[in-house]
Chains A and B, each alone.
Chain A
């Protein structure tokens, strides 16, 4: 089909063409950028933590009764609490630990291989936990073994076994490609005696919850000990059978309060905490999705309106063309091609706009560079959108009878 007449007709309706081009361009720029941000946020939100997030509860007890200040009372109460929690129906594993998830920060120190003379090494997170920790968090031990009950000694001190589990990334940071199992590690400030690596944990990226692949958020070291104090309280992690979380929370709080009422008991599910951690991302994803949908509807309505206007304005010309022998298909094709041309012009401008907006947004948000796949997908989406909003008025144009040409208005 010859597009000459279409272009000439467009020249006579410059305003309409300019409006559609601008509208499509801005819509395209916004939609691609919003989708880009959504993808980036989703990636953050769906990154696996390495733990069984859905079924883990953290229970924190804050004792105010004076007897908890006695170290031996505290130790006994921790063991009693662990037994009590393990006996609740639906509980799969339980551990006492100072490790937390989705906290945005944690405890860390600089570690070096004990054989080295280095004064400074990689910053590695360090936590204490009782022997159920791997099973409780759902950690995968890829080499060596987890903790045994005999690993932690008496009291809340990590003695006498002096062993540690470290994550794969912590091992790589300290030992490179050497086998870390059986190696001794030490705090860089030599404030504690060295301890032996007995197991390697697969993936791990909490509690910092930030994306620094291979950085500190994935490097950790866990040592076997009961942990807690009368001042800071005592924390437990409980892993439940799938779906039992809420029932276990209620029962655990009731039984712990019954066992010793001299303390405040707080619990939170990992899922709840994770959702709170990502609530900002969730807001961005939801609102951007809303804006995209509203925008596409608005643009479609706008195109529909403008094309309807064009058809109404040209009723007489269409009748004349029909009278002169143009088929219905010719008329339909005319409008579809016209809109396709305008949409494409809008998209061409939109690609420029999308990258310009991306530069503006990237200056505000880091690492959301626009990918070409997204640009292509956005183009297809808006082409379809343009097509969908042209078809109704174009069909109306198609059914304009040739006889209308003979009427005067």
Chain B
């Protein structure tokens, strides 16, 4: 029966190609716009670290002095000091944890390959890679022992490996950074998340850094911060050691706590640490710290961007208008077919059969229009990607493909049910009497 319905539907669609094109075009337009903008929103709302976004916490400590008045909306510093980061590392509670900041230095490639250049370099513990599920192509993170006993090792990204080593497995080779040589221990897979999960407070849409070196090198190499730093205290800062020991806040701290028990234990540990520091005269304000999961941090940062949400709402309403339009056109098309339908009814077709046959015709329109719309949305997405700093990460994935197909079926159904119901309630042979 289904194939018969399908055959009739195809025959009916071919009878009036102009009308059919209009119907398919209408659905395609609606699906194309809504798919593009729902995909855009999806890019910002998909889980950043698959499976454990809510187990990774951003640590903030209120280390401000009593009299510090900051911008009104800020209630706690958004970064931590070096000395706190170094102290937090001693906590046994988190399963993984890392302080991190960006620095910059001149990289001197083989002069035959390229001129010196100055990339941003992320300084971190080895836990960063596993914690944020950063994929490796060759090698892996440096061993944990490097986090306590510094070694000049480096992890580079896919593009750097292609640029400096022609894409070959470069593990074990060395790179000159500044005046020093670093041994490559790992090469990342091509990796472009929509947002850098470990850099949500500052420029989250930026691309991941091309190089990563151990945090334990910070004091010996005197790595300068290349990101934002904020100071509130007037301190002597002539040497790097004084800078490290200052109240300047310039790094981020992340911990992975797998369950509520671990979170409670870590809270207790932090409270203990702050109370201990208070005795030393630091943490002058009331005890205040914050542990924030990635999803909550995104919400705080107002991500996805306002415009993105607005566009996805508007695009779905646009699809609704396209569907309404189809109702009108289908109504006209089906009602014009009343004579034929009443003859079929008189010859024994049941109401249900007539109804389903018409619904199938609408779904056929929905599917063809949907497929066309999805193809067109690829065009919109590629234009959008060009305007976005993280455009590379904008793509139609399996989930969005399913959503788009589902939307086109729903649109076909919404547009078709009422006209199909109208046409199937025609009494049999009513038209026979007239003609």
Contact = CB atoms under 8 A, between A and B. Distances in A.
Interface of A: 15-16, 19-20, 22-23, 26-27, 29-30, 33-34, 37, 41, 62, 64, 105, 110, 119-120, 123, 189-191, 216, 231-232, 264, 279-284, 287-288, 291, 294-295, 298-299, 301-302, 305-306, 308-309, 312, 357, 360-361, 364-366
A288 B315 CA distance: 9
A294 B331 contact: no
B43 to A, nearest CB: 13
Nearest to B331: A15
Nearest to B333: A309
Contacts of A231: 224
Contacts of B234: 189-191
Contacts of A41: 307
A306 B335 CA distance: 13
A298 B322 contact: yes
Contacts of A110: 69
Contact of A298 (B117, B325, B388): B325
Interface residues of B, number: 44
Main secondary structure of the interface of A (DSSP, over half): helix
A16 B418 CA distance: 12
Nearest to B224: A231
Given A105-B228, A279-B387, A62 B118 contact: yes
28 contacts: A15-B422, A16-B331, A19-B327, A23-B321, A23-B328, A26-B320, A26-B321, A30-B314, A30-B321, A34-B314, A62-B106, A64-B106, A190-B234, A264-B117, A279-B387, A280-B305, A280-B388, A281-B307, A284-B310, A291-B315, A291-B318, A299-B325, A301-B22, A301-B325, A302-B324, A302-B328, A302-B329, A364-B309
A291 B313 CA distance: 12
Contacts of A23: 321, 324-325, 328
Give 7 closest A-B pairs by Cβ, nearest first. A302-B325, A365-B306, A284-B307, A309-B332, A364-B309, A64-B106, A283-B387
B332 A305 contact: yes
A33 B313 CA distance: 11
A270 B318 CA distance: 37
B328 A364 contact: no
Contact of B307 (A216, A232, A280, A305): A280
B314 A283 contact: no
A264 B118 contact: yes
B76 interface: no
B317 interface: yes
Given A19-B324, A23-B325, A298-B322, A282 B309 contact: no
Contacts of A189: 234
Given A305-B332, A365-B307, A119 B67 contact: yes
